[in-house]
Amino acid sequence: MGTQSNSGSSAARTFMSVYRYLPIFFYWMLLAAYYMLPFLRPSLGERLGLRIPRRGEGPLVWLHGSSVGEVSSIGPVVAELRERLPDAGILVTTMTVTGRRRAAKELTGVEALVVPLDFLPAVRRFVAGVRPSTLIIGETEIWPNLVSETRRAGVPLVLVNGRISGKSHPRYRLVKPLFEYLLGHFDLLLMRTETDAERIVDLGAPPDRVIVTGNTKFDILPKPLSAESRAAVRRELGIDPSRLVITIGSARTGESEIVLDAVRSKLADLRPLVVIAPRHMNLVAQIEDLCGAQGLDFTTVSGDSPYGRASRETQVLIIGRMGRLLDIYAISDISIVGGTFKPLGGHNPLEPASQGTVILVGPHIQNITDDIDYLVSEGAARVTDESALAGLLDSLARNKADREKMSERAIHAVRHRKGIAARCVDIMGEKGLLP
């Protein structure tokens, strides 16, 4: 049974009263639209808590995440639960339709729904209909009615992959009494890092319920491609086995130019192949124009064929189709993580780490600070800026021993952090929070 929380401060109680009852008018408007406009029913039914999942007599574990990223990170937890609780049903809810589709596609043996909007009647109806044995919330999906109504029903509450970013923390502190009230409803808060744990305790979480477990996304990282598979990818791309490959993955506007300038200034004699995989496909034409303006020989991989082919003369290979980035990282000697040379916060550095490539990132890493700090501490990544990029590329390109050492450390760093989901489920079981 869940831990009973106190009633909270008067400020928190006042906020919750306003939050619960002021939006009721909008709820009734949407409910009227549901009944009067049949074409809205498929989408509004879930949003208003009118679609209750099929429910057997056994226990049911409910997991909730925001969207696609959270679905991926709770996937290993789902797998652990299915193995350990074969008689329990599993429900996964998301805030977005794309998240629900991902859950339905990737997570076997679960029912996937969009969670109701955080209106009191909708959430109360949904919780009463679902009758969960446990609710496991991913990251920071702490919706007031969802949390309070689940606790009202006596359901244990667990947070996994708990994260409080440096950007969000000061904003959350402005409503600390509310957070203290809501966090007091949780039986267990499993946080990614010590910093996340310190921040959530600062917001009012009971310290004895906070445990640092790590991030389950390490569990979903793929194994390194075998040497045979890497050689096959290089052959299909037309890349000589001995040619140096420098990749910029998830490149954003302006970043390709930074990398090409750095390569041209220092590495012209080595004739490396620069592979550019843009974050969005609408950037392909811009990159082609950039290469043309600089007089670079380029090839674009696009269309339905699995690969385009480079030649010995190709200086830049542009990836104009989605779904190939992991293979590209696997055959790269040096990988530069996009979104870090412009003030965008950075994209996932763990995928290249999983493939054992040398990892470089720019100075804008606020969205991936924890991952980069860890990889740097393991000797698997280096942080640079635009002015120093050319020199660092030159040093690494000419020192194979350094690259091999960083490659080994990247693979070790990823392998060392696996098993987080199993640990999370172990702790939930030890605390008596699972059926």
Beta strands 60-65 and 210-212: pairing type?
A: unpaired
Residue 69: predicted pLDDT: 85
Backbone angles phi, psi at 126, to 5 degrees: -65, -45
The conformation of residue 341, written as its DSSP 8-state character, comes to T
Is the per-residue pLDDT at 21 higher than 60?
yes
Q: Is the pLDDT of residue 63 over 90?
A: yes
Question: Above 90 in pLDDT, residue 13?
Answer: no
Instruction: Express as a percent the part of the chain with pLDDT over 70.
Output: 97
Residue 417's Cβ-side half-sphere holds a number of Cα atoms within 13 Å equal to 26
74-130 pLDDT, tens per residue?
A: 999 999 999 999 999 999 999 999 999 999 999 988 999 999 999 999 999 999 999
pLDDT above 80 for 131: yes
Three-state DSSP at 279 gives coil
Confidence category of residue 8, pLDDT binned at 50, 70, 90: low
Q: Where residue 43 falls among pLDDT bands split at 50, 70, 90?
A: confident
Cβ neighbours of 49 (radius 10 Å): 23
The model's pLDDT over 378-398, given as tens digits with 9 standing for 90+, comes to 999 999 999 999 999 999 999
Instruction: Check the CA dihedral 221-224-226-230 and report its sign.
Output: positive
Distance CA 379, CA 409 (A): 6
| Confidence at 273, pLDDT banded by 50, 70, 90 | very high
With cut-offs at 50, 70 and 90, classify the pLDDT of residue 336.
Answer: very high
Exposure letters 340-358 (e unless 16+ CB within 10 A, then b): bbbebebbbbbbbbbbbbb
Q: What integer is the mean pLDDT of 32-59? A: 88
The rounded distance, in Å, linking the Cα atoms of 370 and 367 is 8
Exposure string (b/e) for 361-379, b if CB count within 10 Å is 16 or more? bbebbebbebbbebbbebe
Average pLDDT over residues 44-57: 86
Predicted pLDDT of residue 278:
96
Residue 55: which pLDDT band, with cuts at 50, 70 and 90?
A: confident
Mean pLDDT across 287-307: 84
CA distance 259 to 45: 49
Domains of the chain: 10-220+419-430 (3.40.50.11720), 227-416 (3.40.50.2000)
Judging by beta carbons within 10 Å of its beta carbon (0-12, 13-18, 19+), is residue 382 exposed, middle or buried? middle
Q: For residue 6, is pLDDT > 90?
A: no
> For residue 113, what is the enclosing H or E element?
strand 111-114
Contact at 8 Å (CB) between 259 and 277?
no
Question: What is the rounded average pLDDT of the residues 406-429?
Answer: 97
Mean pLDDT on 219-242: 94
Residue 316 has pLDDT above 90, yes or no: yes
**Phi, psi angles (nearest 5°) of residue 367:** -85, -15
Per the CB < 8 A criterion, the answer to whether 352 and 329 are in contact is yes
Contact partners, residue 290, CB within 8 Å, separation at least 6: 256, 257, 260
Residue-wise pLDDT for 178-207, tens only, equals 999 999 999 999 999 999 999 999 999 999
Number of alpha carbons in the 13 Å side-chain half-sphere of residue 45:
9
Q: Dihedral of CA 403/404/409/411: which sign?
A: positive
- What are 120's two structure tokens? 């009191």
For residues 126 and 315, give the distance between their C-alpha atoms in angstroms, rounded to a whole number: 57
What pTM did the predictor assign?
0.85
pLDDT tens for each residue of 134-161: 999 999 889 999 999 999 999 999 999 9
Q: What is the pLDDT confidence band of residue 303, given thresholds at 50, 70 and 90? A: low
- DSSP per-residue codes, 88-112: SEEEEEESSHHHHHHHHHHSTT-EE
Is residue 368 over pLDDT 80? yes
Evaluate if residue 2 carries a pLDDT over 60: no
The number of residues making up the chain comes to: 435
pLDDT of the residue at 56: 74
Q: With bands split at pLDDT 50, 70 and 90, how would you rate the model's confidence at 305? A: low
Structure tokens at 183: 């966090």
Q: What is the mean pLDDT of the chain?
A: 93
| Contact between residue 409 and residue 382 where contact means Cβ atoms under 8 Å apart | no
